[in-house]
Amino acid sequence: MSPSTGDDHRVAGALGAAENSLDLGDGYRRARRRSGGDDVASDEERLFRQYAATHDQRIREELIVRFLPLARSLALRYRGAREPVEDLIQVANLGLVKALDGFDPERGKSFVAYAAPTILGELRRHFRDHVMELRLPRGLQERTLAVQQAATSLSDQLGRSPTAAQIAERLELSEEEVAEALLAGEARRTLSLDAPRSRKEDESAPMVETVGWAEPGYEAVETQVAADNAELTERERLVLWLRFEDNLTQKQIGDRIGVSQMQVSRIMRGALQRLLEAVEGEEPVR
């Protein structure tokens, strides 16, 4: 199911469309508007330059606190996923710290434009390494995340779950590609057998207690019944008993019943063949 190089470009574009549709850093922008806009930006630029020159940990901590709304806003894009939101926010905060340590204000790029891809990359790695139990091809992973993000965004806008066609239109993908991504998203979700059957009950039994398995005793009984009903002569049953119960050699058996060792060997082969046919449910060969 690995997509071609052309598909990779389309998926990358779809992921970008999903991200843009959610308004990059919306929580951070609201916080900036409440705090004073241009004055805040000017103050932040001064702090970034001071930190780049001095690496003062107090300035670092202040910048981290200022941009925590940005990290939270990006983490909340994945709130529809199985991972707890608190864990996603922690991962996004880690990406924020990495972005701050790698940011160079002299390059003329805004910190938000630099930090957002870093934080999103950290979230994607978290999903790839810790959440996706089944490893999907990279292109399909990206498309699955894009579809999940678009579905969450459309659900907020429409007040209901979107259709595959609506998701496909948002991401400029075909409905088949959206369906494949949705199936992949479901297929990679596994459940631990140690998980409780019900999260609402404190003393709920683990899932492993509901998993059945084949009882070997039934097969043993069925085999014994089939062997007892096999079409064997009295001499064949006696030869098998002497060989496998009394552990006599073929020569000793021949001496006991008055035949040659070669005849004992032929009797055993025929009897064992009919036993096998009876156990396997085949018609006996005479």
- State pLDDT tens for residues 171-195: 998 988 888 888 777 665 555 566 6
Residue 164 domain flag: yes
For the purposes of burial, counting CB atoms within 10 Å of the CB of 82, is it exposed (0-12), middle (13-18) or buried (19 or more)?
exposed
Q: Judge whether 221 lies within some domain.
A: yes
Residues 155 and 275 in one domain: no
Select from 167, 187, 207 the last residue of a domain: 187
pLDDT class for 9, splitting at 50, 70, 90?
very low
Q: Which of residues 168, 187, 206 is at a domain's end?
A: 187
d(CA 120, CA 96): 10
Q: Are residue 34 and residue 146 in the same domain, yes or no? A: yes
Q: Answer yes or no: is pLDDT of 21 > 50.
A: no
Mean pLDDT of 13-29: 46
Q: Are 193 and 40 a contacting pair, CB within 8 Å?
A: no
Give Cα 102 to chain centroid, integer Å.
Answer: 32
| Statement to judge: residues 83 and 177 lie in one domain | yes
More confident of the two residues 221 and 95: 95
Q: Both 175 and 45 in a single domain?
A: yes
The 3-class SS string of the chain reads CCCCHHHHHHHHHHHHHHHHHCCCCHHHHHHHHHHCCHHHHHHHHHHHHHHHHHCCHHHHHHHHHHHHHHHHHHHHHHCCCCCCHHHHHHHHHHHHHHHHHHCCHHHCCCHHHHHHHHHHHHHHHHHHHHHCCCCCCHHHHHHHHHHHHHHHHHHHHHCCCCCHHHHHHHHCCCHHHHHHHHHHHHHCCCCCCCCECCCCCCCCCEHHHHCCCCCHHHHHHHHHHHHHCCCCCHHHHHHHHHHHCCCCCHHHHHHHHCCCHHHHHHHHHHHHHHHHHHHHCCCCCC
How far apart are alpha carbons 173 and 10 in whole angstroms? 8
**Six token digits for residue 29:** 């922008």
Cα–Cα distance between 62 and 47 in angstroms, integer? 9
The model's pTM is 0.42
Q: Where residue 260 sits, what CATH number does that domain have?
A: 1.10.10.10
286 is a domain residue = no
User: Are 231 and 274 members of one domain?
Assistant: yes
Range of the domain at 223: 216-280
Residues 181 and 46 in one domain: yes
Report pLDDT for 225: 77
Residue 177 within a domain:
yes
pLDDT score of 228 more than 60: yes
Averaged pLDDT score across all residues of the chain: 76
Would 201 be classed as within a structural domain? no
Work out the average pLDDT over 164-170: 90
253-272: pLDDT as tens digits: 999 999 999 999 999 898 88
Neighbouring C-beta atoms of residue 72, cutoff 10 Å: 19
The least confident of 8-22, 201-215, 241-255, 259-273 is 8-22
Q: Do 77 and 153 lie in a common domain?
A: yes
The answer, yes or no, to whether residue 122 has pLDDT greater than 80, is yes
Between the alpha carbon of residue 140 and those of residues 3, 10, 15, 16, 82, the distances in Å are 7, 11, 11, 15, 18
Number of domains present in the structure of the chain: 2
Give the pLDDT of residue 196: 66
Neighbours of 85 (CB within 10 A): 14
Tell me: do 138 and 258 sit in the same domain. Answer: no
Work out the percent of the chain whose per-residue pLDDT is above 70. 68
- Examine the domain organization and report whether 10 and 122 are in the same domain: yes
Q: Does the residue 199 lie in any domain?
A: no
User: What integer pLDDT is reported at residue 263 of this predicted model?
Assistant: 92
Residue 210 confidence class, pLDDT cut points 50, 70, 90: low
Q: Are residues 119 and 167 in the same domain?
A: yes
Say if residue 246's pLDDT is above 60.
yes
Cα–Cα dist 35/47, whole Å: 16
Same domain, yes or no, for 13 and 131?
yes
Tokens 């690995």 belong to residue: 2
178-187, 245-254, 270-279: the lowest-pLDDT one: 178-187
Q: 66 and 14: one domain?
A: yes
Does residue 206 lie in a domain region? no
* Cα pseudo-dihedral 4, 169, 145, 180, rounded to 10: -60
Does 109 fall in a domain? yes
